[in-house]
Amino acid sequence: MSFPGSSNFAMPAAMPKLGGVDFKPPHGTRAVLGNGLVVYLLKDGTLPVIHLTAYIRTGKLNDPIEKIGLGEMTAGLLKDGGTLKYKPEEIDRKLEFLAASVESSMGLEEGRADLTCLKKDLDAVLDIFADVLMNPAFDRAKVKLRRDEMLELVRRRNDEPGRAVVREALRAFYGPSHPYGWRSEEATLNAIAVKDLKAYHANYYKPNNIILAAAGDFGSDEELLARLEARFGAWPRGEVKFPVIPPVRLKGERQVFHVEKDAAQTYIVMLQRGLKRHDPLEYPLTIANEILGGGLSSRLASEVRSRLGLAYTVYSYSVKKPDYGYSLAYCGTNPETCGQALSEILRQYELLSREEAPPEEVKRARDSIVNSFVFRFPTPFELITERASYEYHGYGAGYLDAYIGNLSKVSPAAVLETCGKLFRPEKAMLFVIGNSKKFDKPLSEFGTVTELKED
């Protein structure tokens, strides 16, 4: 049996060795069903287990602003709300009996549905998985239960200040009305009706809007593709209407935000403009962030945590987005050392953007990234889902295979040039949650302070 667009990837040419790692990941097979459903397959006979992941081209950023939470509620009810064929209790009972799982979720930029089962139960579990994706019923009692759960999360969202500070910092950075910065509220969740869930599903959950990755002991590629064709082949393709996401508008000037909270620790986030996805500067920026805050040997950990003893947790990372992403530094410190910790974080960013890092420091950071990168794929399933996700986000077919090689080309000069372009600590946005009465210096020394209330 053959399928339109089916192709077996060739094994890549020998990859460059870096940090003692010779990275030669298998490619698997990419196929396209007649209705546009893209399928990645990688056989793995190690265990009699099969995993499937479907990436649905949507995300929380596609919610209507008056109904933020719609995508997340829809995804959470695909299985839990039952289907046209199965009642919710039937699904739970059958999956429990088979020791299988079918789950669905919604991220900022993608919907996802996952299946795990034993080889012998694939047909039974795949029937449920397909019906969950294609024919959710959104049982009204289950909708109420899910809404109540999400409302409770809204009410408790500030229980963990260490998590709240990142969420609220991003909200201030992008603006509360931009999808990158918004959050669900009681009003937006209460505005969602069953008809909205059905309309959301009807628009986004279409075969030509899905990339599916599969790995495990499923026999031949042709056998699994035939099974998928039998379940999904009659699902009609259709037009998907996407909302227009407004462009990111960043102020580009120093902003300081503070939330007063009498807590044992003070939580600090520093945000600066990052990269759009596919920008080649991601390679030197990745190394720069590893140098700054990627581990215990990083500059932030060495200075803020070890030498000065100001924090137990301090790190940095960067996030790419279709529009401008961000670079983030995080620190949890005592209120009495808030100003000292913040000053040192700013100083370390300024140093890296002004002085070239020693070659051995760049090499150490690069090797650390490579060694952790290849261990992101301990099984064929992790590898094939990664390949599927790269297509989902618009990367070229060779992105994964060329990643290590592209990192190997990054020089200290490239790191300095990139940091000089992207790091502007004097213009960074600072967000602090803590008891200002105990701060060692007022936040006004870092810029004009906007006081926010915890809500």
pLDDT at residue 18 greater than cutoff 60: no
pLDDT at 2: 39
| % of the chain residues with pLDDT over 90 | 90
pLDDT at residue 16 greater than cutoff 60: no
| % of the chain residues with pLDDT over 70 | 95
pLDDT tier for residue 13 given thresholds of 50, 70 and 90: very low
pLDDT at residue 167 greater than cutoff 70: yes
Rounded average pLDDT over 125-142: 98
Rounded average pLDDT over 175-192: 96
Between CA 118 and CA 101 the distance in angstroms is: 10
Neighbours of 307 (CB within 10 A): 10
Q: Residue 424 burial (CB < 10 Å; 0-12/13-18/19+)?
A: middle
Between CA 130 and CA 284 the distance in angstroms is: 42
In the chain the domains, ranked by start, together with CATH numbers, are 33-232 (3.30.830.10), 255-452 (3.30.830.10)
* 14 vs 380, residue with greater confidence: 380
pLDDT at 22: 65
pLDDT at residue 128 greater than cutoff 50: yes
**Residue whose C-alpha is closest to residue 215's, from 434, 404, 44:** 44
pLDDT at 24: 76
pLDDT tier for residue 278 given thresholds of 50, 70 and 90: very high
**Residue whose C-alpha is closest to residue 67's, from 245, 191, 198:** 191
Between CA 22 and CA 33 the distance in angstroms is: 34
pLDDT at 233: 97
Between CA 416 and CA 419 the distance in angstroms is: 5
Mean pLDDT value across the chain: 94
pLDDT at 415: 98
Angle made by CA atoms 421, 425, 429, in degrees to the nearest 5: 110
pLDDT at 405: 92
Question: Strand (E) positions, 199-284?
Answer: 210-216, 255-260, 266-273
Neighbours of 437 (CB within 10 A): 8
Rounded average pLDDT over 104-124: 98
Q: Residue 427 burial (CB < 10 Å; 0-12/13-18/19+)?
A: middle
DSSP 345-389: HHHHHHHHHHSPPPHHHHHHHHHHHHHHHHTT-SSHHHHHHHHHH
pLDDT tier for residue 19 given thresholds of 50, 70 and 90: very low
* 375 vs 234, residue with greater confidence: 234
**Predicted confidence (pLDDT) per residue in 83-113, tens digit:** 999 999 999 999 999 999 999 999 999 999 9
**Residue whose C-alpha is closest to residue 234's, from 134, 323, 330:** 134
Rounded average pLDDT over 417-444: 97
pLDDT at 21: 55
pLDDT at 26: 86
pLDDT at 212: 98
**Predicted confidence (pLDDT) per residue in 196-250, tens digit:** 999 999 999 999 999 999 999 999 999 999 999 999 999 999 999 999 999 999 9
pLDDT tier for residue 9 given thresholds of 50, 70 and 90: very low
